[in-house]
Amino acid sequence: MAVRVKSPGRIAQIALPWLVLLILLFLPKAGLSPNLLRLLFITAVWTTTSVGWNLLGGLTGQVSFGFAVFYGLGAYTTALMMHAGNNPYFSYFGAAAVAMIASFLIGLPAFRLRGPYFAIATIGVTEAVRVVMNNLDITGGSSGYRVTEEGPFRPLVHYYTAILMVAFAVLVSYVIFNSKFGLALRAIKQDEDAAADIGVNPYLSKLWVHAIAAALTGVAGGVYARYAAFIYPGNVFAFQTSIYILLMPVIGGIGTVWGAILGGVVFGVVEEELVAKFPNVHLLLYGALLIIIILLEPDGLLGLLRRLFRRRRRENPGSGSPDQELWGRGSLKERNV
Amino acid sequence: MSAVDVLNLLIAAFLLAGIYAAMSVGMTIIYGVMKIVNLAHAGFLMLGAYFAFELFQRFNLDPIIGAVLALPVFFAFGLGVHWLLVRWLPKSDTPTLASLLLMFGFWLVLQNVGYLVWGNTEESIFTPRTVSTITFGEISISTLRLIVFVAAVVSLAVLQFIFAHTWFGRSMRALIQNPYAAQIVGVDDQRTARLTFGLGTAFAGFAGALLSMLYSFDPDFGRSFLLRAFVIIVLGGLDSITGAAIGALVLALVETFSILIVPAGYQPAISFALLFVVLLVLPKGIAGLLQKKWRFV
C-alpha cells in the first residue's frame, strides 16, 4: 500500500472511535444517573443491531425485514441457556450460534431471490417464526419467559457488556468494510451479475454476511434479554423490532459504518425519550422520516452532515451520492437491454 | 370426512378465492406497470375497511354500497399519493429498494394515522346478513360470503374488460410487456402509471371494504392480507389478472383444507410458510419466471 498522507481529518477519523469508546468506558466512574445508564445501554443494544443489519442491507444491498428473528432467537437462546445454568457470557455465544444457524436456514432458499423479492420473503419468515414461537411450549408460548439470574441486579455489568458488544460490532463492521470481502459485497450491491463475472460468488458471500449480521443481532438480543429479565414473542419477535432494526441504518445513512452508528444512537435516544411522551406517534414519525429520507436525502443523516461539510470545503467535489447504485439504479435511459 | 364436508370446504375455498383475487389484483397491476412493490397496499386495505365502517356507523350505509363508493374515493386518493410521493421515484425496469422502502414508510404512516384516529380496538361490521346462510340440502353457504364473492368477481371482470378492450388497458399491457417498445410506439408512460396507481389503490380500498364485512379489523388489519397477496402474486405470475385469480384459488384451497391438519394456533403461519415454499419451488422466484417469459416473446 502506498503511504497515505495523513490529513487532520483522517487522523480525527481514526482517533474519534477510540476516544468515544474511552469516554463511554470511563463515564460510569464520573457518576451516571440510572436513567442515563439505561439510555446508554439500550442505545448500545440498538446500535449493535443497526450495525449488523447495515452489513447486509447497506453494504450488500439486501434489505431484510426479518432481523427480529435473529434478535428474538438470540434473546430466547440466552434465556434458555442461562436457565440451564450456563454462564451468561457463554450463553451469548450460544445466541450467536443459533442466530447464525437460523440465518443459513433462511438464507439458503431466500438468497436465490433478488432485491425486493428477498425483502418480501423475509417478511414472511418473521411472521411465521413469531406465530411458531407463540405456540411453542419450551418458550412459554405467548405468555413469555422469565430470565433467571442469581444475585442482585448490577446495571454496570450490563452497561459494560453492551458497550463492549457494540465496540466489537463496530470493529467487525469496520474490518469487513475495508476488506476484500467487503469489496465483493459492494460489487454485489452494484450489480450481482457483473460481480459474478469477475469471480465473486454472490450466493455464498450473501450467506456469510447474513450469518455475521445475524450473529451480531443475536448477541444483542441475548444481552437485552439478560437485562430485561422477561421476554415474550410479541416483543422480541415483533415485526416492529424488524422495522426498528431496518430504520436505524436508513435514518443514519445506509451503507456506511458511521451511518449505522449514528442511526442507532439517534434512534435509541429518540425512542427512549419519545415512547414515554407520545406512545402512539413514534412509528408515524419514523414512517414520515423514512419517506423524507428516501425522497430527499437517500444517504440519511450522515449524508446531510456530509453535504453541510462539503459546502465548506469546495475542493472535495461531490462524486454524487455513494449509494446511487442502491437507490437510483436502472433508469430507463441507462439500462438499455 | 364425508363427501358433503369436502364439498362444503371446496365451496368455502372458492368463495374465499374471489375476495383474495380482488385483494391482490391492485398490487399486481401496480407492480406490472410501475415495477413498484406496493407495501402501502396493506394500508389501503385498512383504510378501505374503515371507510366502509365509518359510512356504516354514521349513515347506516350498507357496506356493499360503501365498497362501491370506495372505488372512486380511493382512485382519487391513489392519484394524490402518486402525485405526492410515487412520481419522484427514479424510473426503473426492475423493482428498486427505494420504492420498496418508500411504500413501506407510507404504510407505517397510514397504519399509525389509523391508530391515532380509530385507536387499537378491533372493530367489525355486523348486519343481519352476517349470520344468514343459504342451504341446499346439506350444503350451506354464507350469504355474506356469496355476496362478497359476486362483488369481487364482477369487479375483476370489469378490470379484465378494461385491460383487454380499452386504450388505457392496452397501454398498461404494453408497459407490462416491454416499457421501451411501449414508449417508442407512443404510450404515455407517466399518464398510464398515474392512472394505474389510482386503479390499484381503488381496488385495494374496494377489497378492504369487502374484507371488513367478513373479518374484524384494527389499524394493523392489512398486514396478514398483504402477505397473502404476495403469495398469490408469486403463485400466479406477476402481470396478469388471470394469474392473480389462479394464485388466489390455490392459496384459498391450501388455507381451507389445512384446517384439517394444522393446529389452530399455527394457522396464521400457513400463508407465510407457503410464501417461502413457493419461492423455494420456483428457485428464481417471480423474477426468474418473468425473465423466462420475456425471453421467448
A270-298 pLDDT per residue, tens: 877 777 777 667 778 888 888 888 888 77
The pLDDT of residue A321 is 44
Q: Which residues in chain A have Cβ-Cβ distances shorter than 8 Å to B177? A: none
Q: B215 vs A157, A189, A305, CA distance in Å?
A: 48, 41, 47
- Tens-place pLDDT, residues A114-137: 777 788 888 888 888 888 888 877
Asked if A239 has any chain B CB less than 8 Å from its own CB, the reply is: yes
φ and ψ at B134, to 5 degrees?
-110, 130
Average pLDDT, chain A: 81
**Cβ-defined contact of A131 to B265 (cutoff 8 Å):** yes
Q: Mind spelling out the 3-state secondary structure of chain B?
A: CCHHHHHHHHHHHHHHHHHHHHHHHHHHHHHHHHCCCCCCHHHHHHHHHHHHHHHHHHHCCCHHHHHHHHHHHHHHHHHHHHHHCHHHCCCCCCCCHHHHHHHHHHHHHHHHHHHHHHCCCCECCCCHHHHCEEEECCEEEEHHHHHHHHHHHHHHHHHHHHHHHCHHHHHHHHHHHCHHHHHHCCCCHHHHHHHHHHHHHHHHHHHHHHHHHHCCECCCCHHHHHHHHHHHHHHHCCCCHHHHHHHHHHHHHHHHHHCCCCCHHHCCHHHHHHHHHHHHHCCCHHHHHHHHHHHCC
What residue has cell string 350444503? B139
Could B92 and A110 be called an inter-chain contact, meaning their C-beta atoms sit closer than 8 Å? no
Residues of A in contact with B265 (CB under 8 A): 131, 134-135
Contacts of A295 in chain B (CB under 8 A): 85, 88, 102
Instruction: Please answer whether residues A162 and A44 qualify as being in contact, where contact means their C-beta atoms are separated by less than 8 angstroms.
Output: yes
Q: Is B85 on the interface with A (CB under 8 A)?
A: yes
Contact B183, B189 (CB under 8 A): yes
- Determine, for residues B273 and A298 on separate chains, whether the beta-carbon distance falls below 8 Å: no
Q: Does B31 touch chain A (CB under 8 A)?
A: no
What's the burial of A231, exposed, middle or buried (CB within 10 Å: 0-12/13-18/19+)?
Answer: buried
In chain A the beta strands, taken as DSSP E runs, fall at 145-146, 230-231
Q: Is the Cβ pair A337, B273 closer than 8 Å?
A: no
Confidence of residue A323 (pLDDT cuts 50, 70, 90): very low
Show residues of chain B in contact with A287, CB under 8 Å.
105-109, 111-112
Nearest CA of chain A to the CA of B211: how many Å? 21
Q: How confident is the model at residue A109 (pLDDT cuts 50, 70, 90)?
A: confident
Eight-state DSSP code of residue A3: P
Q: For helices A239-252 and A300-312, give the axis angle rounded to 10 degrees.
A: 10
Query: What is the pLDDT at residue A86?
Result: 81
Q: In this complex, is the C-beta atom of A113 within 8 Å of any C-beta atom belonging to chain B?
A: yes
Q: For A124, which of B109, B116, B276 is closest by C-beta distance?
A: B276
- Helix, strand or coil for residue A84? coil
pLDDT at A278: 72
Q: Residue B173: name the closest of B159, B165, B184, B163 by CA.
A: B163
CB B285 within 8 A of CB A117: yes
pLDDT digits (tens, 9 = 90+) for A87-97: 888 999 999 99
The Cα B181–Cα A207 span in angstroms is 38
pTM to 2 decimal places = 0.83
- Give the separation between CA A256 and CA B247, rounded to whole angstroms: 40
* Cβ-contact A236, A218 below 8 angstroms: no
Could you say which of B37, B85, B266 has the minimum Cβ distance to residue A291?
A: B85
**CA of A117, closest CA in chain B: separation in Å?**
8
Q: Does residue A14 belong to the interface with chain B, where contact is any CB pair within 8 Å?
A: no
Does any CB of chain A come closer than 8 Å to the CB of residue B111?
yes
Q: Among partner residues B97, B179, B263, which is closest to A326 by beta-carbon distance?
A: B97
d(CA A241, CA A247): 10
- The answer to whether the Cβ–Cβ distance between A332 and B273 falls below 8 Å is no
B240–chain A nearest CA distance, Å: 18
For chain B, what's the residue count? 297
- Residue listed under C-alpha cell 458471500: A205
Residue at B209: amino acid letter: A
User: How far A153 CA sits from the closest chain B CA (Å)?
Assistant: 35
Contact B275 A131 (CB under 8 A): no
**Cα within 13 Å of Cα(A51), Cβ side:** 29
Q: Residue B284: phi, psi to the nearest 5?
A: -90, 5
The B residues from 46 to 65 touching A (CB cutoff 8 Å) are none
Size of interface A-B (CB pairs under 8 A): 154
User: Does B98 contact chain A (CB < 8 Å)?
Assistant: yes
**Contact criterion met (CB below 8 Å) for A133 and A140:** no
Q: Is residue A41 pLDDT above 80, yes or no?
A: yes
Nearest C-alpha of chain A: how many angstroms from B96? 7
Q: pLDDT at residue A224 above 50?
A: yes
Q: Do B96 and A328 touch (CB under 8 A)?
A: yes
- What is d(CA A220, CA B148) in angstroms, rounded to the nearest whole number? 47
Q: pLDDT tens, A58-94?
A: 888 888 988 999 999 999 999 888 888 888 889 999 9
Higher per-residue confidence, A15 vs A4: A15
B window 213-232, beta carbon within 8 A of A: 223-224, 226-227, 230
pLDDT < 50: residue spans in chain B: 283-288, 294-297
Can you tell me the distance from the alpha carbon of A209 to that of A56, in angstroms, rounded to the nearest whole number?
6
In the stretch 174-233 of chain A, residues with CB closer than 8 A to chain B read none
With CA atoms as reference, report the closest residue to A64 among A304, A246, A240: A246
From the list B102, B109, B276, which residue is nearest A294 (CB)? B102
Distance CA A39, CA A274 (A): 12
Question: Is residue A294 less than 8 Å (CB to CB) from chain B?
Answer: yes
- Partner residue opposite A117 with nearest CB, options B92, B269, B287: B287
- pLDDT at residue A311 in the model: 65
pLDDT for residue A4 = 55
- pLDDT single digits (tens) A155-204: 788 888 899 999 999 999 999 999 999 999 999 888 888 888 988 899 99
B 118-177 residues inside an 8 A Cβ radius of A: none
Q: Can you tell me the mean pLDDT for A40-54?
A: 92
Mapping DSSP to helix (H, G, I), strand (E, B) and coil, where does residue A2 land? coil
- Residue of A52 and B258 predicted with greater confidence: A52
B85 contacts in A (CB within 8 Å)?
Answer: 291, 295
A336, pLDDT greater than 70: no
Res A130: pLDDT = 85
